[in-house]
A and B are shown apart, each in its own frame.
Chain A
Amino acid sequence: MDLADIPVLLMLIGIAAYVVLAGADFGSPFWTLTARGERAGEIREQTHRSMAPVWEANHVWLIFVLVVCWTAYPEVFGSIFSTLWIPLIVGCLGIIMRAVGYVVGGYATRRWVTWMATVASFVTPFMFGAVVGGVVSGRVPVGNAEGDIISSWLNPTSMTIGVVAVTLCAYLAAVYLAADADRKGRADLADAFRIRGLAAGVVTGLVAAAGVVVLREDSRFVYEGLTSGLGLADLAVSAVAGIVTLGLLALRRFPAARYTAAAAVVTIVAGWGIAQSPYILPPDLTVAEAAAADNVLIGLLVAIAIGLLILIPSLLLLYGLVLAGRFDPAGGDVVDHPDLVEGGTAVHLTDLDLPKRRSVGLTILVATTGAAMTLVFDDGAGLYAGVAMLIGALATGCVLLAISLAARQDEAPEG
């Protein structure tokens, strides 16, 4: 593998993560909207609660993919975004509408909000799927808006991948929600989602199978990659994972189904990469040709490596808390305030210590010196030291002033 290939691999991982994690965010409003009867409210609650803590983080995968693309393959980014701007902007507006659903969803049920979120949840996966279709079918030439701004995404391949993306999201949502309900001991809800998951899974499978036929007619190159060698093997793994998931759902093995469903998605994305290689914009531009200079790629990879070091434990912490049910309402073990309350009485109730005159004086001294230095020095170490003193004193000053102000507010107000 070349250095030039690593970023595209990371992009595929990012896309897979985005579909696996954020896909369910988009799938869930559909189940909310179609829920009827007395369980409707519960389904709504359930979908909102399961997704609300994680959707923003899920979403960052998309940003990650974009950033890697424009750093490592700048022309590819410019070409895709100028030619396919319509599905991209519509998809993005869909993301905003979906966010409205989350923002309002915590406070009220509003039919129009559910509708908006549902429309968004069709629009965004569809449009992003259509973008992928435009790329794999070779409709994005290199250059500033060189491709047709309509047929680059209104074409058989794009339509197919768009529809697969929509059904896939609904399917993933149902599987995850079933697992969540099961974890909370709500067998009835889990069953409701189980049936939905089975139905959506079958539909997704059928559309995907039909899609292979469409690819044969419309995107020969990728079709051939997918139906031979490594591509074919990958497709087979994906199909098996899909079928196993349906089986697990049928058997009510929900947690396992969660993982096999994700595996099916990951293999589909991998298959795309295999089928398209070595091209990044088929039929002309290869990954190697598109890549930025080596030192840029190395810089990017170093940055990503450092980032991952911090990111991975953080993500594990978040998903760990969510999957352990720690954020469930009234569920999990609510922690009291052991260090504050014991048997209902306060352990301690202290007043704030007013800042000492000395520390206030010192802060003012540092601030004034720093301010004077920023004015006297035009550049260089003197200026930067001055700014550092000024900002340091500002931070300290804010804490001291805020404490002394807050402490005084305990007394009855004057005036």
Chain B
Amino acid sequence: MASASQVFPPTDAFPAVDQNYLLEARQMQALSFAMHIPLVCFGVAFPAMVIFMEWLGLRTGKIHYTAIARRWSKVMITLFAAGVVTGTLLSFELGILWPGFMSVFGDVFGLAFGLEGFSFFIEAIFIAIYVYGWDRLSPRKHLLTGIPVMVSGLTGSLMVIAVNAWMNNPSGFEVVGGEVTDVQPWSALFGNGHLWPQLTHMYLAAYVVVGFLIAGVYAFSWLKGRRSAYFRTAMVVPLAIACLAAPTQILIGDWAARTVARDQPIKLASFEGLYKTTKGAPETVLGWYTDENTIEYGIEIPKLLSLLAYHDPNATVQGLETVAEEDRPPINVVRIAFQTMVAVGTGLAALAAWFLFSWWRRKRLPRSKWFYRAVIAAGPAAVVALIAGWVTTEVGRQPWVVYGVMRTEEAVSGADGIVFGYAALVVVYVALFTAVFWVLRKLARTPLPPEIVALEHAGGSRVDAAGLRVNERPGAGSGGGTDRKGGGDGSG
């Protein structure tokens, strides 16, 4: 076997190097993830919603559906662009910050990123054709070009999650005398019990996040009194999706938790701040994990943890005491993140229940203003849950980069000056997000096509389809925001 490790044993080529700024390196990684992940939710979940709207338009011939799809597609490509560049930065950071990890294990998981690269290609190609192809392709062909965008969003997240799941539950290689050999990339990546719960949970999270964020924009319009068919449709469709995905997310979260309980008992113990190995362990809500290894101010619910983690109220749950202190993650960070996610998840499911109940019983949207206010808050809350979930997973994995195999300090770069990179990064992110925000505002304020405004006055959507050639196209020159009078879209 022409293994590199025979010539350059990885552990020799990449001995652990002192890095005074390990914490900063970790923060840099965390910051970049926190920027990238909400953006990619739009790459994963938004295409399906846009295509659905376009399909409604084709199916009925009613123009407001098509108008919504067009407008959303511009939002989609703007966020896609930001997702592309933040993702690029992430792949640079993998090498810049964690060369030890990449040098030793790059060959184990690289395959997944290779396949992911192709997903990005397909996504980038078809998103461009879709967005720039309005009116340029026949409606059916145009609709079809949206499908690869949807599919590659799924395969892209599949591949990236495969890597993360492998880091959490590594397999597919042997460590012999400090060297990694016998690498089996396919089984390492795709024969991994963590992949499917993580992928399903993340995929649903994307729909929850995007559904509530978009619905929130139009809930704001609702409160402002803009309630024509256009605005209501743009609100209810994403809301329907988010409200069905949110309760499902709890079940999948339970599956994820059981997987963690099976393979990463110390991570589970730090979710809960459970110090002593306990039979019939209680669940402790809220509170703070102290240096004395107790939880202060927590509310204890007997046997619930054993029940949730193993579906058996008397199961034994392994405690933190079973490993040395330096092998435990920062408990409070993990615990608070986990509880935040679960709290938000429960809240979102409750909001969903409100909506679904009122639709089921009364066949109308809720009347209370508080419902719409809650929908506005739900979007940002879902983003918080999303980030909190990743903090749970990633910080809970500490101090390991590859769980139980390689520690984070063995992975980090030995280069000087990483902190300056960190500062530059922050500045550029501010510029990027300012630009994205500015563009979205500009888009939101672009007047609706006159046909839709007319329809708003007519109070219905029964306008014939002759008005379909709505001449707005992304990137159509400097005059994107010609200041016609008319209702802007959403709130900005």
Smallest CB separation, B359 vs chain A (Å) = 7
Assess the B424–A341 pair: CB atoms within 8 A. Answer: no
Smallest CB separation, B316 vs chain A (Å) = 15
Q: Spot the interface stretch: A208-216, A243-251, A349-357.
A: A349-357
Assess the A350–B95 pair: CB atoms within 8 A. Answer: no
Residues of A within 8 Å of B81, CB to CB, are 56, 99, 102-103
Residues of A within 8 Å of B254, CB to CB, are 374-375
A77-B95, A311-B122, A314-B148 are known contacts. Are A387 and B138 too (CB-CB below 8 A)? no
Residues of A within 8 Å of B290, CB to CB, are none
Interface residues of B in 62-80 (CB under 8 A from A): 62, 65, 78, 80
A100-B432, A295-B183, A414-B364 are known contacts. Are A405 and B464 too (CB-CB below 8 A)? no
Contacting residue for B465 out of A66, A75, A289, A337, CB 8 A: A337
Assess the B252–A145 pair: CB atoms within 8 A. Answer: no
Assess the A80–B95 pair: CB atoms within 8 A. Answer: yes
Closest to B108 in A: A296
Interface residues of B in 126-148 (CB under 8 A from A): 126-129, 131-133, 135-140, 148
Q: Spot the interface stretch: A104-112, A164-172, A261-269.
A: A104-112
Contacting residue for A307 out of B114, B251, B481, CB 8 A: B114
Assess the B414–A412 pair: CB atoms within 8 A. Answer: no
Assess the B415–A406 pair: CB atoms within 8 A. Answer: no
A303-B114, A406-B233, A410-B229 are known contacts. Are A67 and B91 too (CB-CB below 8 A)? yes
Interface residues of A in 384-408 (CB under 8 A from B): 384, 387, 390-391, 394, 397-399, 401-403, 405-406, 408
Q: Spot the interface stretch: A31-39, A180-188, A231-239, A328-336.
A: A328-336
Residues of B within 8 Å of A285, CB to CB, are 8
A52-B475, A149-B417, A398-B240 are known contacts. Are A144 and B100 too (CB-CB below 8 A)? yes
Assess the B88–A100 pair: CB atoms within 8 A. Answer: no
Per-position 1/0 for B241-255, Cβ under 8 A of A: 101110010011011
Residues of B within 8 Å of A107, CB to CB, are 439, 442-443, 478, 480-481
Contacting residue for A41 out of B125, B129, B478, CB 8 A: B478
Smallest CB separation, A280 vs chain B (Å) = 11
- Number of chain A residues close to chain B: CB under 8 A: 131
Measured CA separation A85–B424 after assembly (Å) = 13
Chain B interface size band reads 35 or more
Assess the A72–B2 pair: CB atoms within 8 A. Answer: no
Measured CA separation A269–B469 after assembly (Å) = 47
Assess the A299–B111 pair: CB atoms within 8 A. Answer: yes
Interface residues of B in 1-20 (CB under 8 A from A): 1-4, 7-8, 10, 13-15, 17
Contacting residue for A397 out of B13, B88, B244, B435, CB 8 A: B244
Assess the A48–B233 pair: CB atoms within 8 A. Answer: no
Chain B CB within 8 A of A9 CB = no
Chain A CB within 8 A of B297 CB = no
A59-B84, A60-B117, A74-B106 are known contacts. Are A303 and B111 too (CB-CB below 8 A)? yes
Smallest CB separation, A148 vs chain B (Å) = 10
Residues of A within 8 Å of B84, CB to CB, are 56, 59, 99
Smallest CB separation, B203 vs chain A (Å) = 9
Measured CA separation A251–B155 after assembly (Å) = 47
Q: Spot the interface stretch: A88-96, A154-162, A193-201, A271-279.
A: A88-96
Measured CA separation A85–B56 after assembly (Å) = 49
Per-position 1/0 for B340-379, Cβ under 8 A of A: 0000000000000000000100011101000000000000
Measured CA separation A319–B4 after assembly (Å) = 39
Assess the B128–A64 pair: CB atoms within 8 A. Answer: no
Contacting residue for B415 out of A145, A293, A403, CB 8 A: A145
A88-B92, A100-B431, A348-B61 are known contacts. Are A71 and B114 too (CB-CB below 8 A)? yes
Interface residues of A in 128-149 (CB under 8 A from B): 142-145, 149
Chain A CB within 8 A of B333 CB = no
Assess the A402–B52 pair: CB atoms within 8 A. Answer: yes
Smallest CB separation, B41 vs chain A (Å) = 16
Measured CA separation A102–B251 after assembly (Å) = 41
Interface residues of B in 424-447 (CB under 8 A from A): 424-425, 428-429, 431-432, 435-436, 438-439, 442-443
Chain B CB within 8 A of A415 CB = yes
Measured CA separation A192–B140 after assembly (Å) = 40
Measured CA separation A304–B112 after assembly (Å) = 11
Assess the B56–A406 pair: CB atoms within 8 A. Answer: yes
Assess the B88–A390 pair: CB atoms within 8 A. Answer: no
Contacting residue for B102 out of A81, A149, A384, CB 8 A: A81
Measured CA separation A397–B440 after assembly (Å) = 30
Assess the B240–A402 pair: CB atoms within 8 A. Answer: yes
Contacting residue for A339 out of B52, B132, B139, CB 8 A: B139
Contacts A398-B244, A398-B245 supplied; 17 other A-B pairs, CB < 8 Å: A45-B478, A48-B475, A64-B121, A67-B117, A73-B4, A81-B96, A93-B425, A100-B435, A108-B442, A143-B14, A290-B4, A338-B138, A345-B466, A349-B62, A374-B251, A398-B240, A405-B359
**15 sampled A-B residue pairs with Cβ under 8 A:** A57-B124, A67-B113, A75-B10, A77-B95, A81-B99, A93-B428, A99-B82, A108-B480, A326-B136, A329-B473, A335-B135, A337-B139, A374-B255, A409-B232, A409-B233
Listed from nearest, the 6 A-B pairs whose CB atoms lie closest are: A71-B110, A81-B95, A78-B103, A74-B106, A307-B118, A78-B99
